[in-house]
Amino acid sequence: MNDKNTLKGTTTVGITCKDGVVFATERRASMGNLVAHKVAEKIFKIDDHIATTIAGSVADAQSLMKYISAEVVLYKMRNGERISIESAAALSANILHSSRFYPFFVQTLIGGVDDDGAKIYSLDPAGGMIKDKFVSTGSGSPFAYGVLEDRYTDDIYVEEGVDIAIRAIKSAMERDTYSGNGILIAIVTEEEGYRMFDEDEVQKRLKEII
């Protein structure tokens, strides 16, 4: 998978908080030893209450995001209500599992806030679906997990979760060759819905926690 459509490596983080979820990724896209792109987008808005992260093939990830977004819109049109996070994750898992003749080479985190609270699920390329309180994917995940295991507690709020996510991605960027070139942060809360932090916000938070 060393073609122009491949993201090798990557670090993504998802954290479930009492009032929402936090997603974070770095921005490097690599092909072998080449840093192919320094501004890769790895967090996607699916709906006002759902977001995802991706690690893997760029082309496959873009196609998968389009499929998921379309299905979520269709669900809302047919049922007159927003889809639950669990249903969105199950739908995504079914898409992955049913594509065995053209597998999606991606690892995905999907999460957000619904009537039952905040949730995050991790999905593997075969359609496996696991709910977790915090999770990291990609080549930098062992370094990110060191921070997550040390700092996560069940009673954190999004404000604190953002700092933990930044620390986790920063740790991965310092040790993983395939992770780097900046940090993306997005949150989903019942009050705000989906919000992506701008670069100035991320840099300010980064300076505050160093």
Residues with catalytic function: 10
- The CA-atom distances, in angstroms, between 109 and each of 52, 80, 209 are 5, 26, 25
Q: What's CA 72's distance to the chain center, in Å? A: 17
What whole-number distance in Å separates Cα of residue 106 and Cα of residue 92? 12
User: Which residue type, as a one-letter code, is found at position 146?
Assistant: G
DSSP lists the bridge partners of residue 199 as: none
Reference 165, options 128, 124, 120; nearest CA is 120
What whole-number distance in Å separates Cα of residue 83 and Cα of residue 22? 19
- Count the helices and strands in the chain (H runs, E runs): 5, 12
Tokens representing 43 are 């967090």
User: Which residue type, as a one-letter code, is found at position 68?
Assistant: I
User: Which residue type, as a one-letter code, is found at position 36?
Assistant: A
Sign of CA dihedral 149, 54, 159, 76: negative
Radius of gyration of the chain (CA): 16
